Amino acid sequence: MLQNNQMNRQIVLAERPQGAPTSQNFKMESLPIPSPKEGELLLRTVFLSLDPYMRGRMNDAKSYADPVALGEVMVGGTVCRVVNSNCSGFNQGDWVLAYGGWQDYSISDGTGLVKLDPSIMPPSYALGVMGMPGLTAYMGLLDIGNPQPGETVVVAAATGAVGSLVGQIAKLKGCNVVGIAGGSEKCQYAEDELGFDRCIDHKTDDLFVQLANACPEGIDVYFENVGGQVFDSVLPLLNSCARIPLCGLISQYNATELPQGPDRMPLLMGSLLVKRIKMQGFIVFDDYAHRYEEFSQAMTSWLKDGKLKYREDIAQGLENAPEAFMGLLQGNNFGKLIVRVGEDELN
């Protein structure tokens, strides 16, 4: 159900998940629509971005950002329209990129808002190809990965918001690109539409063998966003001086304890040492916000020239955000997952 303009529906964190989130972890509440004070504006959410990092915010653990408190609105990037503005520089009807969270309406004092021009690009792109996932792909690949023409780049979640861009940018840089994705439909899309040289279904029984066959000269850049069994298959194939931008580890976000077995931490460190590999974690806005302009110009130009394809997977209605988010963590989405919370037009 899209917003009815009478109340502000919010999805709050009801309890912290143990393992995979369930619908019990979320609760929808309805409150009066807030009124902007002097210097503030009222935003109506049109699109809400759903991203894997939100799983970390549901934990009560120290991380690079504070957790969402129990009873608080789930955080998230939003594309909004300005309903009322008491803030200079913004007018009713403006499209803005905000961080309004999982709710119909939000109040802002203008800090961090970015105005969007819908005549240039669909505003929802600010949540994906032109926003955080796009900057993540661009900077992680180019700055940390530093791929050279002819090198082999591997990326998992190959049709996801970040992975699809990583692979396409790597192709633009002249690399051999091998994707890993869940299911034949996604793999077909990565090869036929995104132009990857190969895409391997991680649901296969012999991922390592298929990956080794797809990378006969080894792997020079592995853009890491999943971890787990995919990384297990990648590690032995890494070349000397390989680079691993460490962007996410979605396969382990729901884990409640470490797997049992031999402790492979020494194995990993030994591999990094002997092969002179760089593995580097990054948080895109902390590390690369200052290079947004460079990214934006490159991305806009590639999109305009038809060199980049971008696919959205749009869930309908704020009330469906929890289910869509739970699916994201299972790899059910096909493209950048967003939620349409409200209509485009102000009534």
Residues that bind a second copy (CB under 8 A): 56, 63-64, 224, 227-228, 231, 240, 246-249, 252, 255, 257-270, 272-283, 286-287
The secondary structure element, H or E, covering residue 170 is helix 161-172
Please state the closest distance from residue 259 (CB atom) to a second copy, in A: 5
Q: Which is nearer to a second copy, 42 or 68 (CB)?
A: 68
Q: Which residues of 1-32 are buried (b: 16+ CB within 10 A; e: fewer)?
A: eebeeeebbbbbbeeebeeebeeebbeeeeee
Q: Which is nearer to a second copy, 135 or 341 (CB)?
A: 135
Closest CA to 54 of 41, 45, 63, 42: 63
- To a second copy, the closest distance from the beta carbon of 233 in angstroms equals 13
**Cβ-based nearer residue to a second copy, 195 or 228:** 228
3-state secondary structure of 325: helix
Q: Which amino acid is at 183?
A: G
Residue among 19 and 270 whose Cβ is closer to a second copy: 270
Q: Output the smallest distance, CB 270 to a second copy, in A.
A: 6
The CB-of-212 to a second copy minimum distance in angstroms stands at 15
Q: Closest CB to a second copy among 257 and 305?
A: 257
Q: How far is the CB of 83 from a second copy (least distance, A)?
A: 36
Nearer to a second copy, 4 or 59 (CB): 59
Residue 180 and residue 248 in contact, taking contact as beta carbons nearer than 8 Å: no
| Least distance from a second copy to the Cβ atom of residue 53, Å | 10
CB of 18 to a second copy, least distance (A): 17
Q: Using DSSP bridges, classify how beta strands 152-156 and 176-181 pair: parallel, antiparallel or unpaired.
A: parallel
| Closer by beta carbon to a second copy, 64 or else 205 | 64
Torsion over CA of 117, 122, 123 and 129, rounded to 10 degrees? -110
Residues 346/109, Cβ–Cβ less than 8 Å: no
At 234 the three-state DSSP class reads helix
* Long-range pairs of 3-6 with CB within 8 A, sequence gap ≥ 24: 3/44, 3/45, 3/104, 3/105, 3/318, 3/341, 3/342, 5/33, 5/347, 6/33
Closest CB to a second copy among residues 154, 308: 154
- Smallest gap, in angstroms, from Cβ of residue 238 to a second copy? 11
Would you mind telling me the total number of residues written for the chain in this entry? Answer: 347
| Cα separation of the two ends of the chain | 16
